[in-house]
Amino acid sequence: MAGLAFLLICSHGNAEFMSLASNKANIRKGPGTEYPVIWQAWRFTPFEILELGNEWAKVKDFENDIGWIHQSLLSDVSTVIVMGKFANIRKGPGLKHAVLWIAYRGYPLKVLDREEDWLKVSDGKKIKGWIFRTLVWGSTKEGGG
């Protein structure tokens, strides 16, 4: 889709990031539905964009896995994913704030705001709080792009 030719530039050097807009999507071995599915991704999963074609994007995830996704499933919403074993989601931006929830490795989150090295994030449902920037991978431009 021509309307999705834009890319979100994030804080990882000159890397270009987009995120999954649908609830779930197949990541394929090549640029087409004839290629096998190699993994599935969930809403708000961030991807580094390696290549854009007519309808398909070659993407890399936080584990350096590479695959292809249809561009119509991507958006410019700023998102991150938990890199470590787990990460605390806090009531406010700082260690003095209470832990509201624990997010485990591979959990994708939408970025709502940023205060220095802290990101206000949401899972799009009931979870909303703050996470320390170094615990996640993806685009950290607050406000969804």
Helix (H) or strand (E) holding 54: none
Torsion, Cα of 28, 30, 31, 37 (10° steps)? -20
For position 126, what pLDDT does the model report?
85
For position 140, what pLDDT does the model report?
78
SS3 sequence of 71-123 = HHHEECCCEEEECCCEEEEECCCCCCCCEEEEEECCCEEEEEEEECCEEEEEC
Closest CA to 94 of 140, 131, 123, 121: 131
The percent helix, strand, coil of the chain (3-state, each to 5) is: 10, 50, 40
Amino acid at position 32, single letter: G
Neighbours of 115 (CB within 10 A): 12
Asked if 71 and 58 count as a contact pair (C-beta separation under 8 A), the reply is no
- What is the spatial distance between Cα 71 and Cα 22, in angstroms, rounded to a whole number? 11
- Residues of the chain below pLDDT 50: 1-12, 144-145
Closest CA to 18 of 68, 84, 83, 73: 73
Asked if 93 and 120 count as a contact pair (C-beta separation under 8 A), the reply is yes
Q: Which residue's structure tokens are 């890399």?
A: 60
For position 142, what pLDDT does the model report?
61
